[in-house]
Structure 1
């Protein structure tokens, strides 16, 4: 008789499957909470985990119970208004005296929202879901690496949606054969012996009864072997692998002039940090060039771009000219996918805005895959916005968006880099 004992130790991630199932089930509420969290966070903690709060009404589980079907006749105690055959009107909304539990009450009692913590990786995964670099072309397959999901065999753990029925049944069949084959062989021998005794005159009745009891006991043991067990379940396993796709460079241009107050600069930093996290998480070996400008533009490193303080006037064309020079020297358009993201409050010398349009139209837009411009201001749009908006009408690789407050950053970011329909 074979006995199977499971001596596997419980791993720390034993609830991972249930956790992922919960996140998938309530993804809409969680993504909304993640979106709200982006606007509340400071620049330094934008990539940390998050506490997610879900209203209890959204996580209530459906229940099945026996309904009151068929024709029923009841005598309700205390009835002094209705006679047999009368129709009872439905109570008006809110007029019932039920004892249901609400989310709040005048006495201060009620049900709290369900709160749980998501990790940094889960937070970023939800933050950048369904985003990509637009118009990416495979012009040189040796630099940029994307991650592609592929089938990677089978695993013993997973979600119900990934169950492989054939593999699970095959495992079930092997287990049932292993657990019952010796019993079935013994049962066959006992039945043959019983048949021989029954056909032989003068056989001992006690021996026949004992054989029948032994046969019944074996048949009961065989019947107890379950058709399928949790150990039999096999799930399709999925993994991610690197897929070389192309070379790409992202130019980040930010206005740091005196017209950009601290609140405006902070919103611009949040946008660029979102962009930086998205690029470094989604693409490997993608190069980023940082350019800051006031009346003059200069290329800086990542730390200086996000945290350095500068003041002065505004000449936006200086940043566009520097971008064009760097692009010609280091990133030829025949070998690189070129992207640019520019943030400004829209303030610029009036006679410089037409120059910006000319540089974009003649030098940059013909070589870039995508140029995104965000204007962070509560004032009326000025000449720079109007020049860029005019280019948007005639070119499909430039996008212009407006941010008024911190709550607009994440929706605008998703709009700029949403995955395009194939």
Structure 2
């Protein structure tokens, strides 16, 4: 089973260059300080920094160059990153100095717009932007240790964006709607990450507060929304108080095929919510084909909750679930049609609308606490899961639990191994 095309799994933890490589690859480092800078300065030292984003946007950046943003700086506008780096010599955005992350905000534009390829972006906050905190339209870019808050979508990977990685970042309180009107079943917004592109990786992030009031749905939002994107990998994320963890859809002629969700921990104290929502061919934004959800841990105690929903023509070709722990106050899961391909999981709920698969059970998963979803001794999750090939997770490098433990020969269901 080959669920993902060549996603650069090794790029999740890129090796540091040797000293010799660093010397060869080093370019020019430019410094930017919103308070003490001067756009007429050379910009090539911390003692003579530039002042504005416009000066950075106009710079002729080359592979191997770096732009260092002074911590505590604040700008209104857009940082537009159009140049191309190379795999060996990416162009870098990085912090310097002490204090909070440099902050870019303003409703006039998306705050950080990446149309170039091979950028490595870290140490910057995009807050209260026009629509997206980070708009990624290029390929092979890395957002590492960034923060996005107060946007319609924290990170938007556009239809042209492929093989990008969002890792180790804080994607918090992106709780604005872009469409919110009465009737029409068309409200939209409050996305932590929105993936319209293919072969992207969302891993090791904290995603919280992706929810907003909606005329059509009462509340709306998603930690990771996928629309038309194929073969994206969403793994090792900690998600809290999002309206749903993931919702998938596709316009006619598209499929959002082969997206994988593995080793995510999903919790909420909201009054309603869900883990995963996907659609068959009978839905206006279906079918969504080949979705995999494996080794996730979910705790949503409110009554208006559902673990997973596969509707309007569900079938094994639409959704496969393995080795999950799903504890909800409402419905464990819903399927129609031929139903999903499910097994090796533990469910706790007040109702269910699907047929339990092999090794799955309805039982108290005996989790450590409401926020710590590790199974306690005696949990039915222990030893229940199916051993699976690396293809289920997106590659051999990902056959570890959310803490980094290798999967044993007889694994536990859920994101944590004992």
Greater RCO, 1 or 2 (C-alpha within 8 Å, sep 6+): 1
Q: Which protein is richer in strand relative to its size?
A: 2
- What TM-score, normalized by structure 1, do the two folds share? 0.22
- What TM-score, normalized by structure 2, do the two folds share? 0.22
